[in-house]
Amino acid sequence: MTNKNIAYSCDTFVVLPPLTDSNFHIFGKNSDRPTREVQEVIFVSKEHTSGNKDHVQCTHIQVPQVSTTYRCILSKPAWCWGAEMGANEHGVCVGNEAVISKIPFDTRNKALTGLDIVRLSLERAKTAKSAVEIIGQLIEKYGQGGVCYDPTSDISSGYDNSFLVMDDKEAWVVETCDRVWVAKHIKEGYYNISNVYGIEDDYTLHSNNLESFAKEKNLWNGKEKINFAETFQDSTTCSRLTAGRKLLDDLTKNGNFSVFDMISILRDDQSGICMLSGDSGYTSTGSQVSVLTSANKKNSQVDACHFLTATPNPKVSLFKPFIFSDNVELGPLTVSTPSEIISQRTHPLYAAHQKASTEQLESKRLKDFEHEGIMEIIGKLKSSDENNADTYETLFHDTASAEIELLREHRPTKRS
């Protein structure tokens, strides 16, 4: 990945109390990837992650398995093992961003990718703080290396990563370079990350090898506290970061920031946060918004919901709800069928979007369907009704199925 590609990547956001509707914790991310790359949404069960396996085969390397893993919902490029973003059954949400450091990436051995680290942390962490610790351990032990793109994309490099982590109590931002990292605690308000380093010398935690690594690379004089961004950053500007912060500032002024506000940010194409297919060769290929009730105000029936698109361009993709429950089933509509690497690996929902016309994708019926569904879920999150008899095992599948059916309606007929 070269510096010219920095503008063509992702944005991740968190908004925390006291700025949110009902003191929700709200997470959002657009995954910007090569336009032709398919992003799928998958459910990872405990059996899938830990069933009598000694090792986990990540994208390029194996790492030892752990004794306890957690169920996850993941949005990921179909070609690789890791994930761009996701959440687990304990309400931990993680998203990553590409950052370009002064340490050359192309010369490194195969190691973990940022996407691998997102998935491993979600499978293994019960809290946001634990996820930060796991990310740090993985970075120090294995480092980052190996191609981060489908071999068919003609992009033969990769990148270092930053991560935004949230649960129902707090948020953390983690920034990395090869085998070193720093982390900053976000207790309230809002925060966003894009494709530049943002942590200077105000980090809360750091890797044990930070100073020795910086000295070894001749990037630190050994005197003052290391300014992480200044020390490791190879590029310093990102217009989307500034635009995203301005949107957050504007939308939190009333102290009632909502799920719909987060969705509106992810759909903002004027800022470039919603990346539309164009000359860059990159598109917002998948999006996620998660909403968690505060830890001190739990609803016995529903305390978190994760809305995912599984299709490109959030302006014309529906945010579909997923709620963890004992017998939850994702269904097959957003899962790509295993095939040769040269295949596009399309899943049924992606294929339906590809076939739909612009008029169908922008249908008011689709938007009304999405709005009504989100309003219903938000009502459940706000409710204190302990006798809620609703079940959510097939909620995501049912919504994706309805989206496909709505796209099939009123298809233009061919003129004779």
Helix (H) or strand (E) holding 72: strand 72-77
Return the closest-CA partner of residue 404 out of 311, 339, 283: 311
Q: How far apart are CA 314 and CA 269, in angstroms?
A: 10
The single-letter DSSP state of residue 20 is: B
User: In this structure, what is the dihedral angle of CA atoms 101, 267, 76, 8, given to the nearest 10 degrees?
Assistant: -30
**Peptide bond connecting 412 to the previous residue in cis, omega within 30 degrees of 0:** no
First and final C-alpha spacing in the chain:
49
Which of 162, 164, 123, 122 lies closest to 15, judged by CA?
164
Residue entry with tokens 């707090």: 170
Whether 274 is catalytic is no
Phi, psi of 399 (to 5 degrees): -70, -40
Residue showing tokens 């949230």: 166
H-run or E-run covering 262: helix 259-266
Side-chain-side CA neighbours of residue 130 (13 Å): 17
Kindly name the residue from 10, 58, 80, 93 that is annotated as catalytic.
10
Give the integer Cα–Cα distance in Å for 320 and 346.
18
CA–CA separation, 107 vs 145, rounded Å? 9
* Rounded Cα distance, 96 and 405, in Å: 33
Q: Which two tokens stand for residue 410?
A: 């009123």
Residue pointed to by tokens 């961003």: 97
Q: How far apart are CA 12 and CA 96, in angstroms?
A: 7
The strand pairing partners of 29, in sequence order, are 12, 288
Give strand ranges (E) for 59-169.
Answer: 62-64, 72-77, 85-88, 93-99, 160-166
Instruction: For residues 267 and 70, give the distance between their C-alpha atoms in angstroms, rounded to a whole number.
Output: 31
Residue type, 85: M
Specify the DSSP class assigned to residue 101: B
CA dihedral sign, ordered 72, 75, 261, 242: positive
279 DSSP 8-state letter: T
**Among all residues, which ones are annotated catalytic?**
10
